[in-house]
Amino acid sequence: MRVPLTVADFLDRAETVFPDGTAVVDEPVQPAAPVQTTTYREFGRRVRAWQAGLDELGLAEGERVAVVSHNSARLMELLHAVPASGRVCVPVNFRLKPEEVRYIVEHSGASLLLVDPELDEALAGIGARHRVVLGADSEALLRFDTEPRPWREPDEDATATINYTSGTTARPKGVQLTHRNIWINAVTFAMHTRAWERDVYMHTLPMFHCNGWGMPFGLAGLGVKHVVLRKVDGTEILRRVEQHGVTLMCGAPAVWNAVLDAAQSWTGEIPGRDRVRVVCAGAPPPTRTIARMQDELGWEFQQIYGLTETSPLLTFNRTRPQDVDLPAEERARKLSRAGGPALGARLRIAESGEVLARSNVVMDGYWTNPEASGEALAEGWFHTGDGGWLDSEGHLVISDRKKDVIITGGENVSSIEVEDCLFSHPAVAEVAVIGVPHEKWGETIKALVVLAEGARAGEAELIAHCKARLAGYKAPTSVEFREAIPRTATGKIQKYKLRQTYWEGRDRQVN
């Protein structure tokens, strides 16, 4: 008899096969805070108690539960419990401003809002039919039955989560991911990363993001230990890799740059050498970052590409056996590609250069937004909004977001290509390249640069650095030095914010 694919499958197997294995180690950044270690038996018991509590609260199947929280064991419980109990989980970015949180809670129609105690005061004016602060108040909701209630079996095509997009351009859209989407993504990720029960996974990504928690479902099904990291800190990541024997992590390039910076002052041998596998996601990494990760840390670098709308895994890239003996620089260059299609994914490049995808991980649609859903899923393909091409080895190379391609004097310029070139200069720590208005060329290229600590470089030097390595029209015409560059919680540069200053008063941010 056919069994529906639901998120409950993963924890159900962990409870059965690995009941005494460690499920979660929750060690807050503050050294004085207590460490919480939970077995899969206890973790499953608490998740089932959440289900019983939601039942008693009167939440019907399909109702939405919004959660605004830092990474924590409680948040992990909810991410399992809400969809496994037949409700829809709405994880909310805890870094959003109150009005942005309000929009998501109201737009999703959440019946229950659960709030991290550290965020309670800032979000005091936001509520739903039920509003509960995580901690003592939420513990009162849990119902520990003598006999644990069986999981519900919702249709595998029912919505399990609504993950709101990063909002890098406008109002975030609610991405409806089904149980089937999440199940297939989790299993595919576990397979491609060669995960097994002896792995220790550290959450270096915020769990509200589908990249941060969607993939670890598969790891739970394998009995993997999860180490919770509440806040990204390079030194703290190195310490926990050493203390907990971490073997697998996933994060944006900014996370790995923080680790590389911390490694410069780390005393003793770098932990995890020849043991740790890192998965880079969220943005294409500079080639220099990849080379440093492998050479200075000795950690294996892997890259994935995908979007919230694809659960997110569409491609996967790791060093292949035939490439092991290549020079380090060439291996890093190959790893900077998004990679070959993940199992079950189909990729196509449209005439416009946009990357199109088909897969069982593609979303059901945008919540209450049929027009946007129709545009994104037109003609049976998901339109990613990213530009790219397939190279001679069948690997996807992302050139840019369509909206971030700079058209100067009729020539298309990938901002990513220019950023990668600038990153190769030793003085550059961070960089964002944008198009700014120009009367003659329509747009011209501006580089916004954060210099490495103690480093010096001038505008003319950086422009000359690019002209020596790129076609002249691709080089920046100006460089502006910044203290920091705005990013989303997952590490994506918020280029629309950077462009606003230069395009103010115009109808659109392109000529």
In the prediction, which pLDDT does 510 show?
43
The residues, any chain, with a CB within 8 Å of residue 346's CB and separated by 6 or more, are: 357, 358, 359
> Based on the number of CB atoms within 10 Å of its own CB, is 88 exposed (0-12), middle (13-18) or buried (19 or more)?
buried
- Pairwise CA distance, residues 130 & 502, whole Å: 43
In the prediction, which pLDDT does 256 show?
92
Supply the DSSP symbol for 141. Answer: T
Question: Strand 174-178 to strand 200-203: parallel, antiparallel, or no bridges (unpaired)?
Answer: unpaired
Instruction: Give which of 329, 492, 506, 509 is closest to 434, Cα–Cα.
Output: 509
- Pairwise CA distance, residues 73 & 217, whole Å: 14
In the prediction, which pLDDT does 490 show?
65
> In which region does residue 86 sit, left (phi positive, over 0), alpha (psi from -120 to 50) or beta (all else)?
left
Q: Calculate the alpha carbon distances from 415 to 154, 283, 348, 403, 431 in Å.
A: 44, 12, 22, 10, 10
Contact indicator for 203, 216 with CB cutoff of 8 Å: yes
Question: Strand 22-26 to strand 36-39: parallel, antiparallel, or no bridges (unpaired)?
Answer: antiparallel
Residue 407 forms beta bridges with which residues?
A: 412
- Pairwise CA distance, residues 500 & 502, whole Å: 6
CB atoms within 10 A of CB 417: 17
Instruction: Give which of 441, 476, 474, 443 is closest to 461, Cα–Cα.
Output: 476
Q: Distance between terminal CA atoms of the chain?
A: 58
Structure tokens at 350: 């449209």
Supply the DSSP symbol for 359. Answer: -
Residue 317 forms beta bridges with which residues?
A: 303
Please give the average pLDDT of every successive group of 10 residues along the chain, which has 511 residues: 93 97 84 82 96 96 97 95 96 86 96 96 94 94 86 93 72 93 96 96 90 84 96 94 96 88 95 96 82 95 94 95 92 94 97 95 97 96 94 89 74 82 93 85 90 93 92 90 83 80 62 40
Structure tokens at 55: 């039942």
Q: Which residue has the tokens 């970015």?
A: 93
DSSP 159-176: EEEEEEP--SSSS--EEE
In the prediction, which pLDDT does 489 show?
66
Q: Calculate the alpha carbon distances from 128 to 52, 143, 315, 430 in Å.
A: 20, 22, 38, 40
Structure tokens at 159: 């919505």
The string of pLDDT tens digits covering residues 110-130 is: 999 999 999 999 999 999 999
**Structural domains of the chain, ranges and CATH numbers in brackets:** 1-20+35-183+214-220 (3.40.50.12780), 409-503 (3.30.300.30)
Contact indicator for 94, 116 with CB cutoff of 8 Å: yes
CA-only gyration radius of the chain, Å:
23
DSSP 203-257: E-S-TTSHHHHTTHHHHHHTT-EEEE-SS--HHHHHHHHHHHT--EEEE-HHHHH
In the prediction, which pLDDT does 169 show?
46
Contact indicator for 202, 184 with CB cutoff of 8 Å: no
SS3 9: helix
The string of pLDDT tens digits covering residues 377-389 is: 999 999 999 889 9
Question: Strand 64-68 to strand 130-133: parallel, antiparallel, or no bridges (unpaired)?
Answer: unpaired
